[in-house]
Amino acid sequence: MFNINKIRQDFPALHQEVYGKPLIYFDNAATTQKPKAVIDVVNEMNSKTNGNIHRAFHYLGNLCTERYEAARETIRRYLNAAKKEEIIFTSGTTAGINMLAFSFGERYVHTGDEIIISEAEHHSNIVPWQLLCERKDASLKILPVHDDGRLAVEKLPELITSRTRLICVAQASNVLGIRNPVKEIIAIAHAHGVPVMIDGAQGAVHGGIDIQDVDGDFYVFSGHKLYGPTGTGVLYGKEKYLAELPPYQGGGEMIDTVSFERTTYAGLPLKFEAGTPNYTGAYGLKTAIDYLEQTGWDNIHQQETSLVNYAMQRLQEIDGVHVYGAAQPKTSLLAFGINGIHPSDIALLMDKTGIAVRAGHLCAQPLMRRFGVQGMLRFSFSFYNTKEEIDTAITALIKAKQLLA
Ligand code: PMP
C-alpha cells in the first residue's frame, strides 16, 4: 500500500525549512532527493566498508567489488539488458553521451556522414554530437517538433540517408514531459540499418525501459535523477557495438596487457571503465532502484500522474497561463509561461516562499526558439510530492503574478 506520509519520512531533505518556510521541492526533473536507504548505504561505505575494487586481495576490496558488480546486475535487470557486460558505469547522462560520441565517432563516423537528433533535445544530447561533427566533418540533421510538442516522427524516413550513422533522441523531454515513441523511432531507423541512442535521463526515473523490447542500441541515464547519488550513471550498449568501439579513456583496469610497444584492452565492460570508478555511488544507485521497486512502480506512476493532472487543472484556472506541449503521454512535469511576466521573476519570488521550481531555457535553447520564448517555468513532481503542496505553490504563483503584473 502507498502511504504518502510514510514515503515522505523516507526522504530527510523534505523535512526542512528554507527562508523560514517548509520546503516544497518541485525541481525533481533536475535532480531528486535521496531516500534514507541510499544516504545510509553511501555513509556506511564511506565510513566503514571502503576498499578499491577489482584488484584487491583483501576483504574490503572484495566486498566493494561484489557490491559494484551487484549494482551492475541490478541495472541490467532494470533495463532488461541481455548481458551485464553491456552495462557501463559513467558519471551521468552527459558523460555517457560524450563517451559514445567519441568512441562511436572514432569507429563509425567519417567525412560527409550524418547524425540525426531532434529539436527537443537537452543540450547534453546536442553539443557532444556537434563536437563530433566538427571533428569528423560530418553534419547534424534535426527532426522537428510539432506545435503540440510531439516529434515529427513521420518526417524521419525522409531525413535518413545512406550517410546517416546514428539517431539520438530523448525517451522523454525534460521540457515538455512528453514521452517519445522510441520503439517506433527505433523500428524506422533499423529499417534503414541505422542504430539509435536513447537519452533516458527523463525516462529512467519513470520506470526505465525494456531495452530488448524496444530494441535500443544505446541508452544513457543519470543516477542522481533516479534517487541515487550524484556522479553516477550508465551507458548501455549492445554488445555487438561496444565490442567494436575503441576505448574512450585509457588507464588502470581497462587493459589486458601493457607494454611500451603495445597495449591490449580488457573485455567488456571494463574496456570503458578506466580508473577507479564510483563504486560507492554505483551501490547507492542499486539501493535507490531497490527502494523504488519496493515502493512499487505502479504506485509511483499513479501518484505522479495524479499530481501532474491536478497541477495542469490548477494551472489552467489562472489567467494568462499557457502550458507548453499538450501532447500525451506525459511524465510528471509541466512547463508553462505567464503572459507578460518573466519566468525567472516568478521562480525567484516562489523561492522566497520555500518553493523550488525551475525557470529559464531548461538546457534546451533550440526548443525555446521553436516555441518563440526565451524561457519557461517548470514544475516537476516526484511521488513524494502532494496535492497540498501544489495548492500552496499555486497560491504563491498567483501572488507572485499579482506582484509582478
Ligand atoms: N538529457 C536530459 C533529457 C536531461 O533532462 C538531462 C538533465 N537535465 C540531461 C540529459 C543531462 O543529465 P546530467 O546533467 O545528469 O548529465
32 CA distance to ligand 1 centroid (A)? 12
Q: What is the pLDDT of residues 65-106, one digit of tens each?
A: 999 999 999 999 999 999 999 999 999 999 999 999 999 999
Report residue 210 as a C-alpha cell: 525494456
- 150 strand-pairing partners: none
The whole-chain average pLDDT of the chain stands at: 98
Among residues 138, 133, 132, 130, the alpha carbon closest in space to that of 113 is found at 138
Q: Model pTM greater than 0.85?
A: yes
Among residues 27, 14, 41, 12, the alpha carbon closest in space to that of 280 is found at 41
CATH architecture, domain 40-292: 3-Layer(aba) Sandwich (3.40)
Which residues are designated catalytic?
363
Q: What is the pLDDT of residues 125-155, one digit of tens each?
A: 999 999 999 999 999 999 999 999 999 999 9
Instruction: Report which protein residue has its CA nearest ligand 1's atom 5.
Output: 174
125 CB near ligand 1 (under 6 Å):
yes
Residue 55 predicted with pLDDT over 90: no
The pLDDT value recorded for residue 1 is 80
What b/e readout covers 315-353, taking b as 16+ CB neighbours within 10 angstroms? beeeeebebbbebeebbbbbbbbbeebbbebbbebbbeb
The pLDDT value recorded for residue 359 is 98
Q: Note whether 4-30+296-404 and 40-292 share their fold.
A: no
What number of helices (H) and strands (E) belong to the chain? 14, 17
CATH class of 4-30+296-404: alpha beta
Domain ranges of the chain: 4-30+296-404, 40-292
Residue 281 predicted with pLDDT over 90: yes
Residue 3 predicted with pLDDT over 90: yes
223 CB near ligand 1 (under 6 Å):
no
94 CB near ligand 1 (under 6 Å):
yes
201 CA distance to ligand 1 centroid (A)? 5
Pocket test for ligand 1, best of 93, 205, 278 (most atoms within 8 A of CB): 93
- Specify the ligand 1 atom closest to the Cα of 95: 16
- Specify the ligand 1 atom closest to the Cα of 222: 15
The pLDDT value recorded for residue 397 is 98
Residue 56 predicted with pLDDT over 90: no
361 CA distance to ligand 1 centroid (A)? 13
* Percent of the chain clearing pLDDT 70 (strictly above): 100
- Report the distance separating Cα 25 and Cα 380, nearest Å: 9
171 CB near ligand 1 (under 6 Å):
no
The pLDDT value recorded for residue 20 is 98
* Percent of the chain clearing pLDDT 90 (strictly above): 99
The pLDDT value recorded for residue 304 is 98
Element (H, E) at 56: none
219 CA distance to ligand 1 centroid (A)? 13
Burial (CB < 10 A; 0-12, 13-18, 19+), residue 215, is middle
Largest CA distance in the chain: 71
Report residue 238 as a C-alpha cell: 549492445
Q: What is the pLDDT of residues 170-226, one digit of tens each?
A: 999 999 999 999 999 999 999 999 999 999 999 999 999 999 999 999 999 999 999
Who's near 276: CB < 8 A, 6+ residues apart?
52, 53, 252, 253
CA dihedral 327, 202, 194, 135 (to 10 degrees): 120
Q: Are 122 and 363 in contact (CB under 8 A)?
A: yes
Tell me the DSSP string of 292-312. Answer: HHHH-HHHHHHHHHHHHHHHH
